[in-house]
C-alpha cells in the first residue's frame, strides 16, 4: 500500500514539474500540445477561394424614393425560377414588399434567362435587401432622398484634392463645376477654390506674349531658363514651352468664371484682360489651335464681353468640318451652353441647330435603351467611361430644358447601372471613377438627381 502511494506521488510530481523519467530532460508542454492537436501537419491555405456574390443585381448606392426601382437576376442557372420575391428590412428581415419577377430575355446557349423585378412602389426611406427563394439574398441598399447628394458631395470634395503637372488638366474640372452650378444651382460649388485655381493659371501666363505654359513652370525654373539663354548669348524663347491648347482653354475658363453669376466680388476687368491676352496669342497661330478649344474660348469670351471678333470666330468655327472638330470635344457642350445663354446678339438659327443636335442625340440614346439591356443603351459595353458619362450629361441637359423629365429618368437608369445594376454587378462609383475629368462629369450627372 505504501509502495503504491509512493509511486503515485512520484508520477504526480513528474507531471507537475515536467520531469522525464527517461533521460532527465525538460519537455515543452506547449509544443507537445501543439503537436498533439495538429499532428505536425500544417494547413495549406494557398488554394483559390471563390468569393460568394449575390446573383441579384441592384444599385449598391441606393435609390431615390420617387424614382423607378428595378433589379435583375442574371443567369441563375435554375430551371423554372420561382417568380415571387420579397423586399426585406435590412435590420429585422421583416418583409416590407413583395412582387413577381418578369422574364425579359430568354436563355441562350450557356446563359440563363434574365429576370427583372420592379419595386418602384416602395418609397419609404430605409435600408433593405431582396430575397428570392432560388438565388437567396441581395446585398443591402438604401432608399433615401439624399442618395445622390452623398455621392455628389464625395465627388465635389475629391475634385479639390487633385494636383496637376499639365496645366490644361486642371481646367476641365473647373468648367464642369461652374456649369453644374449654373444649370442646377446646387449651392455646393466652392468658388474660392476655382478662383485660386484661376489665379494659379495666371502665374503660368507668359507676361510678354500672353501664352500659357503647357507644364507647370515655377518662377525659379523660368529664371534659370532665362539665365541659361543669356549665357549662351541667345534670347529666351518662351514659345518652346507655351501650349496653344492650354492658352485657349485658359482664356475660356477665365471668361466663364467672369460670366458666371456666382463669382462674387472679383476684379472682372483684370481677369478679362488676361483672358483676352491669351486669346490674342492663339489668334496668331489660329490654324494650329484645336478647334474645340478655340470655340470654347470664343464662346465664353463672347458671352462675357459681347466682343465682335469672338462672334466672328464662332461663325468661322461653324465652317469647319466635323472630323476636324475631334480635338477637345469635352469642351464643345460647355461652349454650346455659353452661346445659348449669352445676353448678346446671337444667330437664332444656330441656337435651334444646337438644340436640335442634342435632342437628336438623346433620342438616339433613348431608342437604344430597354429593360432587356438594364434600361440603358444596348451597346453600352462598347463605350468608354467618358463616353457613357458624356451621354448622361446630354440626357441631363435636355431633360433640364424640357419639362416632362423623360430623359432625366433615363439618365437615372444609367446611374443605377453604374451603381451595380449591371451584368457584372460592378459598383463603378466605388472604384472606377478616379480621374479628375471623370469626377467632374459625375458632378454634373449626380446634380440632376438632386433637383427636387
- Residue pair 386/441 in contact by the 8 Å Cβ criterion: yes
Residue 17 scores a pLDDT above 50: no
Q: How far apart (Å, rounded) are the C-alpha atoms in residues 331 and 298?
A: 12
For residue 87, the cross-strand partners are 97, 130
Say what the pTM is.
0.82
For CA atoms 243, 161, 263, 189, the dihedral sign is positive
- Residue pair 188/156 in contact by the 8 Å Cβ criterion: yes
Q: What is the pLDDT of residue 7?
A: 41
Q: How far apart (Å, rounded) are the C-alpha atoms in residues 320 and 313?
A: 11
Q: How far apart (Å, rounded) are the C-alpha atoms in residues 314 and 297?
A: 10
* Segment (H or E) for 354: helix 348-367
- Residue pair 414/405 in contact by the 8 Å Cβ criterion: no
For the residues of 53-95, what is the DSSP string, one character each? Answer: --SEE--TT-B-TTS--EEEEE----TT---EEEEEETTT--E
Average pLDDT in the 245-250 region?
96
Q: What is the pLDDT of residue 117?
A: 96
For CA atoms 306, 309, 310, 316, the dihedral sign is positive
Please state which of the ranges 195-204, 232-241, 274-283 shows the lowest mean pLDDT: 232-241
**Per-residue model confidence as pLDDT tens digits over 398-449:** 988 876 667 888 888 999 999 999 998 988 888 767 889 989 999 999 998 7
Average pLDDT in the 276-293 region?
93
3-class secondary structure, 105:
strand
Average model confidence (pLDDT) for the chain?
85
Q: What is the pLDDT of residue 226?
A: 84
Q: In angstroms, how far is CA 236 from the centroid of its own chain?
A: 42
Ramachandran region, residue 39 (left: φ > 0; alpha: ψ -120 to 50; beta: rest): left
Count Cβ atoms below 10 Å from residue 258 Cβ, excluding itself.
Answer: 22
Q: How far apart (Å, rounded) are the C-alpha atoms in residues 280 and 118?
A: 57
Burial of 150 from C-beta contacts in 10 A (0-12 / 13-18 / 19+): middle
Higher pLDDT, 291 or 9: 291
As a dihedral over the C-alpha atoms of residue 147, residue 405, residue 443, residue 144, rounded to 10 degrees, the angle is 0
Average pLDDT in the 70-92 region?
89
Q: How far apart (Å, rounded) are the C-alpha atoms in residues 224 and 220?
A: 6
Q: How far apart (Å, rounded) are the C-alpha atoms in residues 308 and 31?
A: 90
Higher pLDDT, 52 or 205: 205
Q: What is the pLDDT of residue 245?
A: 94
Residue 270 scores a pLDDT above 90: yes
Residue 255 scores a pLDDT above 70: yes
Residue 323 scores a pLDDT above 70: no
**Per-residue model confidence as pLDDT tens digits over 345-394:** 999 999 999 999 999 999 999 999 989 999 999 999 898 888 899 999 99
DSSP strands (E only) in 316-449: 369-370, 376-377
Q: How far apart (Å, rounded) are the C-alpha atoms in residues 156 and 100?
A: 39
Residue 14 scores a pLDDT above 60: no
Amino acid at each position: 500500500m505504501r509502495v503504491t502511494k509512493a509511486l503515485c506521488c512520484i508520477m504526480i510530481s513528474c507531471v507537475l514539474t515536467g520531469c522525464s523519467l527517461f533521460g532527465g530532460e525538460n519537455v515543452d508542454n506547449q509544443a507537445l500540445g501543439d503537436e498533439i492537436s495538429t499532428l505536425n501537419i500544417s494547413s495549406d491555405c494557398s488554394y483559390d477561394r471563390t468569393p460568394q456574390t449575390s446573383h441579384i443585381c441592384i444599385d449598391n448606392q441606393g435609390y431615390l424614393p420617387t424614382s423607378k426601382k428595378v433589379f435583375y437576376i442574371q443567369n441563375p442557372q435554375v430551371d423554372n425560377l420561382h417568380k415571387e420575391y420579397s423586399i426585406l428590412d435590412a435590420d429585422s428581415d421583416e418583409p416590407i414588399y413583395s412582387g413577381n419577377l418578369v422574364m425579359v430575355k430568354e436563355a441562350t446557349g450557356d446563359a440563363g434567362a434574365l429576370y427583372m423585378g420592379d419595386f418602384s412602389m416602395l418609397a419609404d426611406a430605409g435600408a433593405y435587401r431582396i430575397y428570392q427563394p432560388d438565388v437567396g439574398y441581395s446585398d443591402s441598399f438604401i432608399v433615401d432622398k439624399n442618395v445622390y447628394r452623398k455621392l455628389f458631395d464625395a465627388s465635389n470634395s475629391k475634385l479639390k484634392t487633385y494636383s496637376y503637372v499639365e496645366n490644361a488638366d486642371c481646367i476641365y474640372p473647373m468648367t464642369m463645376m461652374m456649369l453644374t452650378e449654373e444649370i442646377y444651382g446646387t449651392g455646393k460649388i466652392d468658388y474660392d477654390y476655382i478662383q485660386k485655381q484661376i489665379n494659379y493659371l495666371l502665374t503660368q501666363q507668359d507676361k510678354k506674349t500672353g501664352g500659357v505654359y503647357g507644364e507647370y513652370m515655377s518662377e525659379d525654373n523660368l529664371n534659370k531658363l532665362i539665365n541659361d539663354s543669356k549665357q549662351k548669348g541667345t534670347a529666351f524663347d518662351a514659345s518652346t514651352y507655351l501650349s496653344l491648347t492650354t492658352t485657349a482653354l485658359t482664356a475660356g475658363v477665365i471668361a466663364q468664371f467672369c460670366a458666371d453669376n456666382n463669382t462674387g466680388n472679383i476684379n472682372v476687368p483684370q481677369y478679362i484682360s488676361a483672358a483676352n491676352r491669351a486669346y490674342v496669342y492663339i489668334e496668331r497661330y489660329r490654324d494650329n489651335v484645336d478647334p474645340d478649344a478655340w470655340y470654347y474660348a470664343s464662346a465664353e469670351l463672347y458671352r462675357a464681353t459681347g466682343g465682335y471678333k469672338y462672334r466672328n470666330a464662332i461663325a468661322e468655327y461653324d465652317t469647319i468640318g466635323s472630323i476636324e472638330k475631334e480635338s477637345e470635344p469635352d469642351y464643345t457642350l460647355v461652349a454650346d451652353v455659353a452661346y445659348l445663354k449669352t445676353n448678346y446678339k446671337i444667330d437664332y438659327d444656330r441656337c435651334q441647330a444646337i438644340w436640335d443636335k442634342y435632342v437628336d442625340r438623346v433620342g438616339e440614346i433613348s431608342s437604344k435603351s430597354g429593360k432587356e439591356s438594364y434600361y440603358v443603351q444596348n451597346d453600352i459595353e462598347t463605350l468608354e467611361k467618358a463616353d457613357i458619362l458624356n451621354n448622361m450629361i446630354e440626357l441631363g441637359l435636355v431633360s433640364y430644358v424640357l419639362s416632362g423629365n423623360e430623359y432625366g429618368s433615363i439618365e437615372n437608369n444609367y446611374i443605377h447601372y453604374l451603381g451595380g445594376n449591371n451584368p457584372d454587378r460592378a459598383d463603378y462609383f466605388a472604384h472606377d471613377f478616379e480621374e479628375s475629368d471623370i469626377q467632374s462629369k459625375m458632378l454634373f450627372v449626380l446634380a440632376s438627381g438632386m433637383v427636387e
